[in-house]
Structure 1
C-alpha cells in the first residue's frame, strides 16, 4: 500500500508541474504554442511518410509495396495539417474537452475509491475530478470565437489543475507520513 501511495505521490507532483509549465506557456504565448503544435504534428506525419516511402522503395520487388503508398498518404496528411491548421484547430476544443471530461470521470471514480484509504482527504480528489469535468464540459460547449483565447483559457485551466494537483500531492504526502 505504501508503494502505491509513493508512486501516486510522485506522479501527482510531476503532473502538476507539467500542467503549470504548459499552462503558463499557453497563457503567455498562445500563437507560438498553436504554431508549434501544427509544425510538430505535420513534421511527425511527414517523417513517418518519408520513412515508409524509403522502406517501400528498398523492399520493391514486383511493384511498389503497400508501405510506399501508405507513406504517400502520411505525407498528404502532413500537408493537410500544415495548410489547413486553422480549420482543423477549430475541432481541437472538442477533442480537448472530451479528454478533460473523460479524465475527470476517471478521477471521480478514483476519488470514490480513495474514500476508504485516505479517510477525510478524499474530497480533494473529488474537487479535482469535478474541476476536470467542468473544464471538459465548458470546452465542449465552446462558447468562444477565438481559438487563441480558447488556448489561453485552456492554459489558465491547466494552471488551476496543476495547483490543485500540488494540493493533492501534499495531501498524499502528509497522509503517508501520518500513517507511517
Structure 2
C-alpha cells in the first residue's frame, strides 16, 4: 500500500506543477498559447503527412500505396488547421469541456475507490473531481463570446486545479507517513 501512495504522491506533485505553469502561461498570454496550439497541431499533421508520403514512395510497387494518399490527406489537414484555425477553435471549448468532464468522472470513481484506503482524506479527491466536472460543464455550455477570454478562464481553472493537486500531494504525503 505504501508504494501505491508513493506513486500517487509523485504523480500528484508533477500534475500540480504542470497545471499551475500552463495556467500561468495561458493567463499571461492567451493569444500566444492559441497560436502555439495551432502551430503544433498543423506541424504534427504535416510531419505525419510527409512521413507517410516518404514511406509510400519507398514501398511502392505497382502504383502508389495507400500510405502515400494518407500522407496527402494529412498534409491537407495541416493546411486546414493552419488557415482555418479560428473556425476550428470555436469548437475547442467543447473538446476541452469534454476532457475536463471525463477526467472529472474518472477522478470521481477513483475518489470513491480511495474511500477505503484513505479514511477521511479521500474527500480531497472527491472535491477535485467535482471541480473538474464543474469546469467541464461550464466549458461545454460556453457562455463566453471570446475564445481568448475562454483561454484565460481555462488558465485560471488550471491554476485552481493545480492548487487542489498540491493539497492532494500534501494529503498523500501525510497518509504515507502515517502508514510507515
- TM value normalised by structure 1: 0.99
Given that 2:93 and 2:142 are in contact with CA atoms closer than 8 Å, whether structure 1 keeps it comes out as: yes
Secondary structure (helix, strand or coil) at the match of 1:144 reads coil
- Structure 1 gap ranges (5+): none
Aligned-partner Cα distance in 2 for 1:29–1:142: 20
How far 1:160 sits from its partner (Å)?
Answer: 0.2
Correspondence 1:93 to 2:90? no
Query: What whole-Å deviation, never above 9, does each CA across 1:76-120 have from its counterpart, x for those lacking one?
Result: 000000000000010010010011011111111111111111101
Alignment partner, residue 42 of structure 2? 42
Q: How many residues align?
A: 180
Query: What whole-Å deviation, never above 9, does each CA across 1:140-178 have from its counterpart, x for those lacking one?
Result: 000000000000000000000000000000000011101
- TM value normalised by structure 2: 0.99
Correspondence 1:116 to 2:81? no
Alignment partner, residue 70 of structure 1? 70
Correspondence 1:158 to 2:158? yes
User: What pairs up with 1:6-155 in 2 under 5 angstroms?
Assistant: 6-155=6-155
Which stretches of structure 1, 4 residues or more, deviate above 3 A after TM superposition? none
Greater shift, 144-153 or 49-58, is seen at: 49-58
Given that 2:19 and 2:161 are in contact with CA atoms closer than 8 Å, whether structure 1 keeps it comes out as: yes
Given that 2:98 and 2:136 are in contact with CA atoms closer than 8 Å, whether structure 1 keeps it comes out as: yes
Greater shift, 84-93 or 59-68, is seen at: 59-68
- Structure 2 gap ranges (5+): none
Aligned-partner Cα distance in 2 for 1:35–1:43: 12
Secondary structure (helix, strand or coil) at the match of 1:61 reads coil
Aligned-partner Cα distance in 2 for 1:52–1:111: 43
Query: What whole-Å deviation, never above 9, does each CA across 1:49-102 have from its counterpart, x for those lacking one?
Result: 011111111122111111111100000000000000000010010010011011
